[in-house]
Amino acid sequence: MKVKFWGVRGSIPAPGPQTAEFGGNTSCVEMRTDAGEIFIFDAGTGIRECGLSLLKQMPLAVKILVSHTHWDHIHGFPFFVPAFIRGNTIDFYGPSHFDAEKTLKKVIELQMDYAYFPVREAELNSRIEYHDLQAGTYTIGGARVTTGVLNHPVHTLGYRCEADGKVVVYTGDNETYRDNLTDASEDDAEYIAEVRAAVEEGNRNRVRLCQGADLLICDSQYTPEEYPSKVGWGHSPWDDVVRLGAEAGVRRLALTHHEPVRNDEGMRKLEADARRLGAELAPGMEVFAAREKVEICL
């Protein structure tokens, strides 16, 4: 199995000389099994170059697993060239929304409405099928895929993909669950207990999703110093993520969804700090900040 990073930035593309080492494209990761099946996690702007790299392998059968439908995770799809070519097949997977009208297909169609983009989804020449997912376990191609609900301001799924005897976990956007009950009084004891139980269960489920992964690719957008002013935004500080990796016993931890204003110098410092904590908590775990175009063989 091989994994390649095509987009590692969060929130908005951040191209330029200050981000050239780590990359400025938004979320997109390619996973290729030994049988040649192609899985793509998220369709941020990184999917454009991913698609160009796939043109020499047509006809294609591609499975796109979207963690959620915020712009930085889907806004590259209209520039995914294989979608325009007859004979290609694209299976689009993603979380169903609580609003029954906002299916995955509907969200992608709206993004490609003429008001926003010059080509409609209906005009794409490839065969596209949409699959709305809940938390559960699915067989997708030759992989066993377990989805888990993560903490983000919209319904978000993390993906645990098992194939070729390896496990890759991709979180998309994710924040550690916290109770944030600083203003609660003693009269709210029952409510406090319920909230804390839900927080504990949410964090246990997150560990289960990541347990024993050969590679965990996890949202680590903030530093511990930045995080207090970002609580509730749906993203994690890197120290929380290193602790998650250590608790779940993962072999490799890729920090991703990099803060768009963080330059390469800042990313190198973040990576070094995360490695130090990783060496302290789990000496056998490899910790690194994801870089565009880097490929990992598992």
Residue 244: φ, ψ to 5°: -60, -50
Residue 132: φ, ψ to 5°: -85, 130
Q: Quick one: pLDDT at residue 182?
A: 56
Phi-psi category of residue 24: left, alpha or beta, with phi > 0 → left and psi -120 to 50 → alpha: alpha
Overall fold of domain 2-297: Metallo-beta-lactamase; Chain A (3.60.15)
| Tokens found for residue 251 | 């072999």
User: Picking from 150-159, 183-192, 237-246, which range would have the lowest pLDDT averaged per residue?
Assistant: 183-192
SS (H, E, C) 214-254: CEEEEECCECCCCHHHHCCCCCCEHHHHHHHHHHHCCCEEE
Largest CA distance in the chain: 65
SS (H, E, C) the chain: CEEEEEECECCCCCCCHHHCCCCCCECEEEEECCCCCEEEECCCCHHHHHHHHHHHHCCCEEEEECCCCCHHHHCCHHHCHHHHCCCCEEEEEEECCCCCCCCHHHHHHHHCCCCCCCCCHHHCCCEEEEEEECCEEEEECCEEEEEEECCCCCCCEEEEEEECCEEEEECCCCCCCCCCCCCCCHHHHHHHHHHHHHHHHHHHHHHHHHCCCCEEEEECCECCCCHHHHCCCCCCEHHHHHHHHHHHCCCEEEEECECCCCCHHHHHHHHHHHHHHHHHHCCCCEEEECCCCCEEEC
* Chain segment 129-179, per-residue pLDDT in tens: 999 999 999 999 999 999 999 999 998 999 999 999 999 999 999 999 887
Q: Quick one: pLDDT at residue 185?
A: 61
* Chain segment 86-102, per-residue pLDDT in tens: 999 999 999 987 677 78
| Pairing assessment for the beta strands 2-7 and 28-32 based on DSSP bridges | antiparallel
Are 46 and 76 in contact, with CB atoms under 8 Å apart? yes
Q: Quick one: pLDDT at residue 178?
A: 84
Q: Quick one: pLDDT at residue 173?
A: 95
Residue-range domain boundaries for the chain: 2-297
* Chain segment 192-216, per-residue pLDDT in tens: 788 888 888 888 999 999 999 999 9
More confident call, 190 vs 62? 62
